[in-house]
C-alpha cells in the first residue's frame, strides 16, 4: 500500500520513523512519501520536505512566517493529491496537519491521525471538526480517550512512543567517568529550540552557585555547537553533553526541565524535577486567554493533579528554582514525587505504541 506521512517537528520525525518501521513489518509492499526528517528518510521512501523548513514556535513566530507556512501547506496538498495514497497519516503538528486532513478528506483520501492535537487544552469544539475530517485517531496520552468520548468520538490509546524509546535504550556504564562526574548530578534540560534555550538556560544556571556539592550537566541540543552554550556558563560545576539525555537522566539525582515532552521523559526515568517555562510576552498573554487547562506539564496533566512544580514566566527565577530544587533533592518532597512517578508509570502502560498503531492502521485499511 501507499502511505503519505506528515511530520513537522523533530519529535514527529522520530515517531514517524518508528511507525514506518512497524508498517513495513505489517505490509511488506509498503511505499512511503512524506514531510519529515532524517530519521524518516533512514526508513526509505521519498522525502518531499524537511521539517527544519516548517517548525515555527509560538503565536508571534507563526505570524511572522505565515507566508512560508502557507506555501508549505499548498505544496503538501499538491504532493498528497499527486501521490494518491491509500492513507494519509498525520503526526501531531495540528496547526498544519488539520488543514491537510480537511483537504485530503474532501478529496476522498483516508485520514489517520497519530498523536492527537491538544484539543483538550483550548477551543475544545475543534473536536467536532476532527470527527468530520479524521477517520481514525490514535492517542498517546491515556486521558484523551475519555475526553474524546465526551464529544462522542471513539479513539484508540496506543501507549506512548516515549516508552518505546526508553525500552530500547541501553545506558553507557562509563558515562560518569567520560565526563568526570564525581559529585551527585543535577540535569538541566533547557529544550532544543533557540528561543527556549536563551529564555530558560540562564535561569537554570543561576542556581548553580547555591548547590556547590552538586555537578550540573546541561543536555545540549546537537543543532548548536559548544561555543553557543559556553556563553551562558559562568561557573566551574557545569558540564555540557550532546545527544546524551537518556544517559544523563539515568544518573541524575534531580533535574530542572523546560516544559514539554522532556518533563514526561524525566518522570519515566524517575528523576525528581522542577518544570520551568518562559515565553514571549505576547504569546503568553494570548495563551493565557485561550488555554483552559490547570497545568502545562505532561506529568501533571496525566495525573490530573500537581505532582511537579511548574515555574512559569516571572515565577521562573533564581529564588524559586533554588527552593524547589532543594525540595526534590531530599526529604518528603522527593519521596512523594517518586511515589507519584510509580503511579504515573502504571497509567502510561507498556512499550509498543508504533507496533499497535501500525496494526490498527492495517486493520482499518483492510476492513
Answer yes or no: do 184 and 285 share one domain: yes
* pLDDT tens per residue, range 74-88: 999 999 999 999 999
Answer yes or no: do 113 and 18 share one domain: yes
Answer yes or no: do 344 and 356 share one domain: no
Answer yes or no: do 310 and 252 share one domain: yes
Residue 223 DSSP one-character state: T
Q: How far apart are CA 241 and CA 159, in angstroms?
A: 29
* pLDDT tens per residue, range 298-351: 999 999 999 999 999 899 999 999 999 999 999 999 999 999 999 999 999 999
- Counting the structural domains of the chain, the total is 2
CA distances from 303 to 152, 297, 337 (A): 23, 10, 12
pLDDT at 193: 82
| Residue 192 pLDDT level (bands cut at 50, 70, 90) | confident
Three cell numbers at 365?
Answer: 485499511
pLDDT at 290: 47
275 class by beta-carbon count within 10 Å (0-12 exposed, 13-18 middle, 19+ buried): buried
Answer yes or no: do 88 and 154 share one domain: yes
Q: Residue 49: pLDDT above 90?
A: yes
Answer yes or no: do 82 and 174 share one domain: no
| Residue 227 pLDDT level (bands cut at 50, 70, 90) | very high
* pLDDT tens per residue, range 132-163: 999 999 999 999 999 999 999 999 999 999 99
Is the Cβ–Cβ distance between 201 and 190 less than 8 Å?
yes
Answer yes or no: do 105 and 125 share one domain: yes
Tell me which residue range forms the domain holding 230: 168-348
Can you tell me whether residue 112 is helix, strand or coil?
strand
Q: Residue 68: pLDDT above 80?
A: no
Answer yes or no: do 207 and 316 share one domain: yes
> Beta strands of 243-346 (E only): which ranges?
252-258, 273-277, 309-312
Answer yes or no: do 80 and 178 share one domain: no
Answer yes or no: do 322 and 176 share one domain: yes
Q: How far apart are CA 209 and CA 314, in angstroms?
A: 21
Average pLDDT over the chain, rounded to whole? 92
pTM of the model: 0.82
pLDDT at 59: 55
Answer yes or no: do 182 and 312 share one domain: yes
* pLDDT tens per residue, range 245-280: 999 999 999 999 999 889 999 999 999 999 999 975
Answer yes or no: do 183 and 246 share one domain: yes
Domain of 173: which CATH number? 3.40.50.2000
Amino acid at each position: 500500500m501507499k502511505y503519505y506521512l506528515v511530520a513537522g517537528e523533530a519529535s514527529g520525525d522520530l515517531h514517524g520513523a518508528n511507525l514506518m518501521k512497524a508498517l513495513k513489518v505489517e505490509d511488506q509492499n509498503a511505499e512511503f512519501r512524506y514531510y519529515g526528517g532524517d530519521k524518516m528518510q533512514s526508513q526509505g521512501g521519498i522525502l518531499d520536505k524537511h521539517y527544519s523548513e516548517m517548525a515555527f514556535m509560538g503565536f508571534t513566530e507563526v505570524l511572522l512566517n505565515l507566508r512560508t507556512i502557507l506555501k508549505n501547506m499548498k505544496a503538501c496538498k499538491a504532493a498528497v493529491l499527486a501521490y494518491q495514497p491509500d492513507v494519509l497519516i498525520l503526526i501531531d503538528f495540528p496547526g498544519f496537519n488539520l488543514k491537510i486532513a480537511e483537504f485530503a478528506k474532501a478529496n476522498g483520501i483516508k485520514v489517520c491521525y497519530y498523536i492527537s492535537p491538544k484539543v483538550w487544552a483550548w477551543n475544545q469544539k475543534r473536536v467536532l471538526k476532527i470527527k468530520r475530517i479524521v477517520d481514525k485517531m490514535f492517542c498517546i496520552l491515556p486521558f484523551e480517550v475519555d475526553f474524546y468520548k465526551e464529544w462522542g468520538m471513539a479513539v484508540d490509546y496506543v501507549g506512548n512512543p516515549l516508552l518505546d524509546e526508553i525500552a530500547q535504550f541501553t545506558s553507557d556504564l562509563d558515562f560518569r567517568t567520560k565526563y568526570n562526574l564525581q559529585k551527585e548530578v543535577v540535569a538541566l534540560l533547557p529544550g532544543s529550540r533557540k528561543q527556549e534555550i536563551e529564555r530558560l538556560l540562564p535561569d537554570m544556571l543561576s542556581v548553580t552557585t547555591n548547590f556547590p556539592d552538586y555537578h550540573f550537566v546541561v543536555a545540549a541540543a546537537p543543532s548548536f555547537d559548544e561555543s553557543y552554550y559556553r556563553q551562558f556558563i559562568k561557573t566551574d560545576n557545569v558540564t555540557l553533553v550532546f545527544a546524551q539525555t537518556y544517559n544523563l537522566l539515568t544518573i541524575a539525582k534531580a533535574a530542572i526541565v523546560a516544559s514539554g515532552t522532556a518533563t514526561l521523559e524525566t518522570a519515566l526515568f524517575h528523576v525528581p524535577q522542577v518544570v520551568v517555562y518562559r515565553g514571549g510576552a505576547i504569546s503568553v498573554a494570548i495563551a493565557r486567554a485561550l488555554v483552559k487547562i490547570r497545568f502545562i506539564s505532561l506529568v501533571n496533566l496525566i495525573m490530573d493533579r500537581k505532582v511537579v512544580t511548574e515555574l512559569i514566566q516571572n515565577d521562573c527565577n533564581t529564588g524559586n528554582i533554588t527552593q524547589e530544587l532543594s525540595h526534590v533533592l531530599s526529604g518528603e518532597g522527593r519521596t512523594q514525587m517518586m511515589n507519584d512517578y510509580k503511579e504515573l508509570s502504571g497509567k502510561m502502560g507498556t512499550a509498543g505504541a508504533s507496533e499497535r498503531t501500525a496494526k490498527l492502521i492495517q486493520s482499518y485499511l483492510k476492513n
